[in-house]
Amino acid sequence: MKKNICFIVSSPYSFYFLKNHFEKLTEDYNIYLVANIDDKTRDVMDNFEYNSYKSISINRNINVIKDIKAIYDLYKYFKQNKFHSIHSLTPKAGLTTAIAGKLAGIKTRIHIFTGQVWATKTGTFRSILKVLDKIIVSFSTHILVDGNSQRNFLISEKVLKANQGQVLGTGSISGVDIEKFSPNADVREQVRKKLNISKDTVVYLFLGRLTEDKGIIELAKAYQKLRSENENVYLLLVGNDEGAFDEIDEIINNREHFDFVGTTDTPEIFYQASDVFCLPSYREGFGMSVIEASSCGIPVICSDAYGLMDTIVDNKTGLRHKVKDVDDLYDKMSILSKDSDLRHTLGKSGITYIKDNFSSKTISNEWVRFYKELV
C-alpha cells in the first residue's frame, strides 16, 4: 500500500518548484497538497500530479488570529488523514505546519528552507522572524536547505545546529530543465525583433521581482552609468513590479534603451535573447534564476549575498560583485560589455556547470532517494 505524503505551502504557485518531484513521487506515494486556493488560483492545481488537495488559508504575514485558525485547520486535516509525513515550504506554511503536525502526532515532519526574509532586517522584527524559524526547526523532525551556503548561514545565525539541515544533491529546490533552458538562436532573433533590439546590442537581463531587496535600484544606477559611456547596451526587466519600477524609470529616463515586459510564463525566451544576466540581490536562499541563465549559456553577474555562493563559479561561469555596491556592479557590467569572447567563455562554462550539478532530473532523483530512505 502506498504511503501518504502531504505538501503544504501558502500560495499554490509555490508548487511549481516541486512539479517534477510530484511526477516522480506519485509513482510510489499518494501525494496530498495544501495551499490557500481560491477561484483565481484553482486552475493552477491542474498543472500538478497529486491524489487530492485541500484549501486552507495560510496568511503570509503575521496575524495571530488567522495563524491560530490555520494551525487548527491543519491539525484537523492531519488527524483525519493520518499522513506518514508532512512537508512544508515557505516560512508561514512552515510555522503553522510544524506546530499543527506536532500536535496531531505526525511522526515525520519536514521543512525546507529556501531563504530568510529576516536576513536583511534589523532590530526587533529581525529577532522575531528568527525566533519563528527556530520554532520551525524545533517542531520539525527533518530540515532540508536548498543550498550549502544558506545552510552555513543558518548555522552561523544559530537557527540550525552544526548537525542539522540536509542539502539534497548539490542544492536548489528543483534544479533546471536543461532541455527547456538551453541556447536557442531562433528564439533569440525572434524576441529581439519583437522588442526592436539589434542583433549586436549587448542585452543585460534582470528576471525576478522588481523590489529593493533584489538590488534592482543599484542595477538601474549601474546601467545608467554604463549607458552614458556605451550606446550599444540595453536593459531588459522581466517580472512582477512590487513598487520599484517608477524609481527605475526615473533613474534611467530613456525608454529607448530599456524595457519592462512584466511577468511571463516563458522565462527561457528572455534568457535566450540576452547576453548577460544580472542579479544584484541583497539576499537569496539559492538563486534559481542564476542557474536558469547559466543553463541558457549566458554569463551571470550576481552579488556576493550568501545564497548565491552555490550558483556561480566566480570568473568561470560569471562575475561576482559586492552587495549594494553600484560601482563594483558597474565595473563587472562594463567588463562584459566590451569582451564578447569572455561572455562566450563564461556562458559555455555555465552550461557545463549546470549539466554537471543542477539538472532537474538529478535533483528529482535526490528527492525520491530522500523519501525512500525516510519512508
Q: How far is it, in rounded angstroms, from Cα 354 to Cα 115?
A: 21
CA–CA separation, 169 and 358 (whole Å): 8
Q: Which three cell numbers stand for residue 26?
A: 506519485
Q: What is the CA radius of gyration of the chain?
A: 21
- Model confidence over 46-72: pLDDT tens digits? 999 999 999 999 988 888 999 999 999
Contact 322, 303 (CB under 8 A): yes
Q: How many CB atoms lie within 10 A of CB 280?
A: 27
Superfamily of domain 185-357 in the CATH hierarchy? Glycogen Phosphorylase B; (3.40.50.2000)
Give the start-to-end residue ranges of the domains of the chain: 3-175+360-374, 185-357
Q: What pLDDT, in 10s, does the model give residues 139-162?
A: 999 999 999 999 999 999 999 999
d(CA 95, CA 88): 9
Per DSSP, 358 falls in state -
Q: Which fold has domain 3-175+360-374?
A: Rossmann fold (3.40.50)
Of 97, 79, 76, 90, nearest to 13 by C-alpha is 90
Q: DSSP letter string over 13-67?
A: GGGGGGHHHHHHHTTTEEEEEEE---TTTGGGGGGS--SEEEE----SS--HHHH
Q: How far is CA 39 from CA 44, 136, 279, in A?
A: 10, 30, 34
Q: What is the pLDDT of residues 315-347, one digit of tens each?
A: 999 999 999 999 999 999 999 999 999 999 999
Q: Say what the pTM is.
A: 0.91
Judge if 3-175+360-374 and 185-357 fold alike in CATH terms. yes
